[in-house]
Structure 1
Amino acid sequence: MAFEQADHPELWAFLEALRPGEILSGVVAAVERFGVFVALDDGPAHPGFPGVGFITIPELAWQRFDAATDIVEVGQRVSGEFLQFDTWNLEARLSLRATQPDPFQTFADQVSVGEELTGQVTMLVPFGVFVRVADGIEGLLRHGEADVGDTVTVVVAGIDRKRRTLELSPH
């Protein structure tokens, strides 16, 4: 459903005036499997959605979670960084995680390649295992053999800050 500028001039003007990086606040109006609608404090009503603000699932938090309701609930006050004006849906795309420090970057500041870590195996994949080495931080141990829940000792083999990946090797 496309919303035309001419049909909603007040909403269009509000959204057009927003600038990337601006912090917007409001109340969670609806939680859907595809994202979260936010009724913005200073924004007009939306003609078709529960709120003018919208947060996609990946922009809710840095950590892995099962459902959006693990992070927010209807009626909760939130503040998010404005990312962009979605002209098709007449929405302000927001990010909650952009307002929080990235735990991966903090972790990367504290460890170095060659450092030994202990962690718990969280997932088995055909090419290895994922190991949680800190709260919210997992790395890939290629060709590792262990069961989910096992505690293993690994060595940091590589840190890619841009892709936010941690490569591990056996101890």
Structure 2
Amino acid sequence: MMGGQPENPELWAFLESLHYGELLSGTVTAIEYFGVFVALDNGPDHPVFPGVGFITVPELSWRFAVASDVVRVGQRVSCEFLQFDTWNLEARLSLRATQPDPFQAFAAAIAVGQKLRGRVTKLVPFGFFVRVADGVEGLVHLRERTWTSVQTPSDAVQIGEEVTVVVTEIDREQRRLALSRRHVSSEHQ
């Protein structure tokens, strides 16, 4: 273990006083490939790291992004406290928790059976993903693609292609959108 209670009593006491969901403000001090360090306004310094606060990459944004697309060094941020990481003696933070989730807003406005237009963003062995709104992607499963059976998704679509799809399932808890091209009538795609 890196620190421990005896060596850093002030830091330990500060971290133990935090509660899940509490809003903490600070300044971004370093951006790494694995996450972002934040010097917290009312927290003590960290003995090793450039900040007591730490945001993992998935907690930076609802959209898939690299850290440098979301924040910059010196930027002021307000984050929700997630947990006290006792191993690294740091406060795990979430920036995305303070922002509205684009998926939930989108899911509230659509219904199963609805047609959507979108762009193919990624091909996977079992199908392909279509971006139907900013920050919202849905999966067209291979078996849902068309009536003809196709060996690989690339036989059917290319990345960047615009397609018409039908919503077959909305899972708000898992933030998953299932789409199909099978139910789209034979009008121009």
TM bracket, shorter-chain basis? over 0.9
Residue of structure 2 in register with 1:80 after alignment: 79
Structure with the larger strand share: 1
**Alignment size in residue pairs:** 170
Percent of pairs identical after alignment?
A: 66
Q: Deviations over 1:2-58 (max 9, x none)?
A: 211110000111111111111000000111111110000000000010000000010
Q: What residue in structure 2 maps to residue 56 of structure 1? A: 56
Counterparts of 1:99 and 1:50, CA distance in 2:
23
Residue aligning to 1:38? 38
| Structure whose CA Rg is larger | 2
- Residue in 2 that maps onto 1:19: 19
Q: Which moved more, 1:137-146 or 1:104-113?
A: 137-146
Counterparts of 1:21 and 1:139, CA distance in 2: 29
From 168, 171, 177, give the equivalent of 1:160.
171
Q: RMSD of the alignment, in Å?
A: 0.8
Displacement, 1:80?
Answer: 0.2
1:129 aligns with 2:128: yes
| Structure 1 residue 149 corresponds to structure 2 residue 160 | yes
| TM-score, with length taken from structure 1 | 0.97
SS of the equivalent of 1:6 reads: coil
Q: Deviations over 1:129-152 (max 9, x none)?
A: 111111111101112421111111
In 2, Cα distance between equivalents of 1:14 and 1:142: 48
Q: Is the 8 A contact 2:168 2:178 kept in 1?
A: yes
TM-score by length of 2: 0.88
- Separation (CA, whole Å) in 2 of partners of 1:126 and 1:88: 38
- Alignment deviations for residues 72-104 of structure 1 (CA, whole Å, 9 cap, x no partner): 111111010001111111101100000011111
Note if contact 2:58-2:64 (Cα within 8 Å) is conserved in structure 1: no
Aligned to 1:119: 118
The one-letter code of the counterpart of 2:101 is D
